[in-house]
Amino acid sequence: MFFPSLVVLLSLSVTAQGAAVPNTHVVHETREISTSRWLKRDRLSSNVVLPMRIGLKQQNLDRGHDYLMDVSHPESENYAKHWTPEEIIDMFAPAQATIDTVKEWLTDFGIDARRITNSGNKGWLAFDATASEAEALLHAKYHYYEHAEGHLTPACESYHVPRDIQEHIDYITPGVKLLAPRKRGHDKRRVAISSSQGDATTAPLRVFYPPDFNVTAAGELATCDKFITPACIRALYDIPETPEYPNGNPRSDNSLGIFEEGDFYAQADLDFHFSNFTPRIPTGTHPILASIDGGNSPVPVSEAGGESDLDFEIAYPIIYPQKITLYQTDDWWYASGGRGKPEGFFNTFLDALDGSYCTYSAFGETGNDRYHSLASLDPKYPDTLGSGEDAYKGQLQCGVYKPTNVISVSYGGQEADLPAYYQQRQCNEFMKLGLQGVSIFYSSGDSGVGGPMDESEGGCIGANYTVFSPAWPNRQAGIHSNITQANHPPSCPYLTNVGATKVYPGQTAKDNESAVVDPAGHPYVEAFASGGGFSNLYPIPDYQKDAVAYFYKNHNPKYPYYTTGVVGQDGGLYNRSGRGYPDVAANGDNIAGFCRGSFFTNGGTSASTPIFASIVNRINEQRLNAGKTVIGFINPALYANPSMLNDITNGTNPGCGTEGFQAVPGWDPVTGLGTPNYPKLVSYFMSLP
């Protein structure tokens, strides 16, 4: 259409460097911020082959939110009428006209149609091109850029596309994006082995009880203020011990999904837990392994991980005999930090649940992070970097597991430095999973209004590191400002974000809980504060508008805030226009359990998340048995009926040198709408179609 042939162009690109771009073309992307962290190096030689990817404009993404509300809002006539995966692909895939138009541009330019592939979900076109072809096609100049930490990536400062196809193209890579290596990465929610246990890694294989814990009384509730056992959790939320399964047989289509990465359970720990606290669960009971890209579990008891043991020790007593599916993600080489840096988060997991996510384009990103070098955010499979059994040699797993109805994720990407586009693309995927009827629960974090406390700046953001960090800081080096704008998946409005509560000292499981930092000022285990606040990335969703407005009107926080502009503008500490989190809460302090053969207590929103997820899984079971569909995205129903939750009105979530926000009557950014009231939740969700 625009160029007669490749041959002409090759010579053009060599002889006419810097020549005027034809007026048929427009700039599609330009890098606006330069930074000293990236040094522009040599021009690519003309015969270097680049893996070109053209992300095509998807249809209807802007309507995704409304579609999700249509199946999630209890007053909608389409409540719980979820979509099939095929319906979702059809709805969001680029239009055929888009694919055809862009392909025609490439073939007219001289790229043989046989060189071009279109991804399964039709989201992008891929072909290999020499640097000189790419430069001529895009009226661009490709250079190597060297990152301060040594990584080289090919990129251009700007590139052009024909004016009349621009509307069909999201972005092209390699292009203007420079992706910095991440400094540090995800860290599972903190698990504190109580100090009386000594060093957890060297603890001998024995079971130790603190003097004030009477194990024979474990089924009783006298010590719930010091040791949260399964019986305490049942008492707190009024959960019957005997599940509602006809003949004790759970359904085969309602296993609870639990995500783990780089942390593994040990059967001996689960067995200690069951035999001490829930003898009705036979020892040997274990999750169904859904291995993702080489992830494997369990491990010997001496190598057990606090997160995995905790998740199963919390969930099984609530849901047994219902099953659990363990999504153990990434091979040992990547999961254990083989690249000397943590891996990108959740992309390989989402790939395994939704094959189309492997090739899905949004926010300037297609599939997993594509510069497969040490700097890439995501692991690459087959794993060519690790060796032996540590390295998964198979292909990246795409769409190999049907997602479970409920997924519990007690991990966060604190310090993860994940760019905003990376998170927004994941948030879109959570929207699509919600459309399919999947309920996803994420922990709100354990650092109050700040980030993790081991950060030198206290985990806070803004020019002076005084501003509250929504969920996690995101100090994106490279092209973004060092004042973070970004945020972490848990603040995505299509997830249910879970904060932590506790039983007051001296009180019982029948009394009102408080936020983990109680009015007296302390949680039991290593100081932690339940994450909460307001997003810098996502606006207040409709379902939450009234709750947040009520909070501002009746319990206006004392801190200055900002709305637009830059983070921290005018001394503001939080974004008054952002989505508030958490949505709900559940107990997360002083949880009794076993890890590496020892008794321990621990805390964190890590514990709260599987509690809430397990409860929803039990309600789904009853809905399915009644011939209804599963609940799916639960937030609109919860916000429309907050009396199903026990409102928490005491406690705070300190951080950034402040006492944080206050738990108050109604929704608050410490404990959300409150903790679950199981009988009320059951009767409400059973009353819905």
The residues annotated as belonging to the active site are 307, 311, 606
Which one of 136-144, 191-199, 263-271, 646-654 is the stretch in contact with ligand NAG (CB under 6 A)?
Answer: 646-654
Judged by phi (left if over 0) then psi (alpha if -120 to 50, else beta), residue 280 lies in: alpha
Residue placing its CB nearer to ligand NAG in the complex, 290 or 586: 586
Taking the chain, what is the end-to-end CA distance rounded to the nearest angstrom?
A: 55
- Regarding 577 and contact with ligand NAG (CB under 6 A), the answer is yes
- The C-alpha angle 443, 197, 332, rounded to 5 degrees, equals 55
| 647 annotated among ligand-binding-site residues | yes
Minimal distance, residue 524 CB to ligand NAG, in Å: 15
Rounded Cα distance between 586 and 584, Å, is 7
Longest CA–CA span in the chain (Å) reads 86
Letter for the amino acid at 304?
A: A
Nearer to ligand NAG, 619 or 664 (CB): 664
Is 648 known as a binding-site position? Answer: yes
The interface region with ligand NAG, picked from 15-23, 64-72, 350-358, 569-577 by CB under 6 A, is: 569-577
Looking at beta carbons only, is 219 or 355 nearer to ligand NAG? 219
How buried is residue 206: exposed, middle or buried, by Cβ count under 10 Å (0-12/13-18/19+)? exposed
Q: Which of 519, 521, 657, 679 touches ligand NAG by CB under 6 A?
A: 519
Q: Is residue 575 close enough to count as binding ligand NAG by CB under 6 A? A: yes
Nearer to ligand NAG, 96 or 564 (CB): 564
Contacts of 123 (CB under 8 A, 6+ apart): 55, 56, 58, 93, 94, 356, 359, 360, 361, 366
Choose which of 568, 597, 603, 632 interacts with ligand NAG (CB under 6 A).
Answer: 568
Q: Which is nearer to ligand NAG, 266 or 645 (CB)?
A: 645
- Only one of the segments 3-11, 258-266, 449-457, 478-486 lies at the binding site for ligand NAG (rule: CB under 6 A); that segment is 478-486
**Is the CB of 464 or the CB of 554 nearer to ligand NAG?**
464
Q: Give the Å distances, CA to CA, from 448 to 381, 443, 660.
A: 36, 12, 7
**Beta-sheet strands, E only, within 572-658:** 578-581, 584-587, 591-595, 598-602, 645-646
CB proximity list for 8: less than 8 A, separation 6 or greater = none
Give the C-alpha separation, 353 to 511, whole Å: 41
With CB under 6 A as the rule, give the number of residues binding ligand NAG: 31
Closest distance of CB 417 from ligand NAG, Å? 15
Cβ-based nearer residue to ligand NAG, 330 or 518: 518
By the rule CB under 6 A, 463 interacts with ligand NAG: yes
Q: Which residues contact 16 (CB under 8 A, 6 or more apart)?
A: none
Among positions 76, 107, 197, 512, the unique one binding ligand NAG when judged by CB under 6 A = 512
Cβ–Cβ under 8 Å, residues 224 and 291:
no
Using CB under 6 A as the binding rule, the residues of this chain from 312 to 341 that contact ligand NAG are none
Quick one: which of 83, 124, 562, 612 contacts ligand NAG (CB under 6 A)? Answer: 562
Q: Considering the complex, what minimum distance in angstroms separates the CB of residue 504 from ligand NAG? A: 6
Q: How far is the CB of 516 from ligand NAG (least distance, A)?
A: 14
Query: In b/e form, how buried is each residue of 167-192, taking b as 16+ CB within 10 angstroms?
Result: ebbbbbbbbbbbbbbbebbbbbbbbb
Element spanning 314, H or E: helix 306-319
What SS3 class is residue 341?
Answer: coil
Tokens of 159: 């590139």
Which tokens in the block code for residue 295? 């992830």
Binding test (CB under 6 A) with ligand NAG, winner from 448, 493, 578, 632:
578
Q: Does 485 bind ligand NAG (CB under 6 A)?
A: yes
**Structure tokens, 565:** 């502009």
Contact call for residue 60 and ligand NAG (CB under 6 A): no
C-alpha to C-alpha distance for 169 and 57, rounded to whole angstroms: 5
Strand, coil or helix: 526: coil
313 vs 592: CA distance, rounded Å: 9
In the bound complex, what is the minimum distance in angstroms from residue 608's beta carbon to ligand NAG?
A: 17
Q: Say if residue 233 carries a ligand binding annotation.
A: no
Distance of alpha carbon 442 from alpha carbon 406, whole angstroms: 11
Residue 67 binds ligand NAG (CB under 6 A)? no
Instruction: Report, in Å, the least distance between residue 76 CB and ligand NAG.
Output: 24
464 lies in the binding site for ligand NAG (CB under 6 A)? yes
Q: Which of 200, 483, 640, 688 binds ligand NAG (CB under 6 A)?
A: 483
Q: In angstroms, what is the minimal distance from the CB of 545 to ligand NAG? A: 12
Q: Which of 62, 59, 117, 69 is nearest to 89 (CA)?
A: 59
Closer by beta carbon to ligand NAG, 144 or else 504? 504
330 labelled as ligand-binding?
A: no
Does residue 567 belong to the site contacting ligand NAG (CB under 6 A)?
Answer: yes
Give 8 or 549: the residue with its C-beta nearer to ligand NAG: 549
Which range in 338-346, 393-401, 546-554, 573-581 contacts ligand NAG by CB under 6 A? 573-581
Contact indicator for 298, 286 with CB cutoff of 8 Å = yes
Kindly tell me which residue out of 23, 36, 201, 216 binds ligand NAG, with binding defined by CB under 6 A. 216
User: Binding to ligand NAG (CB under 6 A): which residues in 584-643?
Assistant: none
Site for ligand NAG in 527-546 (CB under 6 A): 536, 538-539
- Binding positions for ligand NAG, 176-215, rule CB under 6 A: 214
- Shortest Cβ distance from residue 648 to ligand NAG (Å)? 7
- List CB contacts of 650: < 8 A, sequence separation 6 or more: 512, 514, 515, 518, 519, 663
Residue with smaller CB distance to ligand NAG, 337 or 539 = 539
The Cα-based distances of 478 to 47, 378, 440, 464, 688 in angstroms read 28, 17, 32, 20, 49
Q: Which of 482, 510, 545, 552 binds ligand NAG (CB under 6 A)?
A: 482
H helices present in 63-115, as ranges: 64-72, 85-92, 96-109
The CB density around residue 52, as the number of other CB atoms within 10 Å, is 23
- Binding to ligand NAG by CB under 6 A, coded x per residue (else -) over 217-246, reads x--x--------------------------
Taking CB under 6 A as the criterion, which residues in 93-132 touch ligand NAG? none
**Which residues does the annotation place in the binding site?**
647-648, 666, 668
Residues of this chain that bind ligand NAG (CB under 6 A) = 214, 216-217, 220, 463-464, 481-483, 485, 504, 512, 519, 536, 538-539, 562-568, 571, 575, 577-578, 646-647, 649-650
**Which residues does the annotation place in the binding site for Ca(2+)?**
647-648, 666, 668
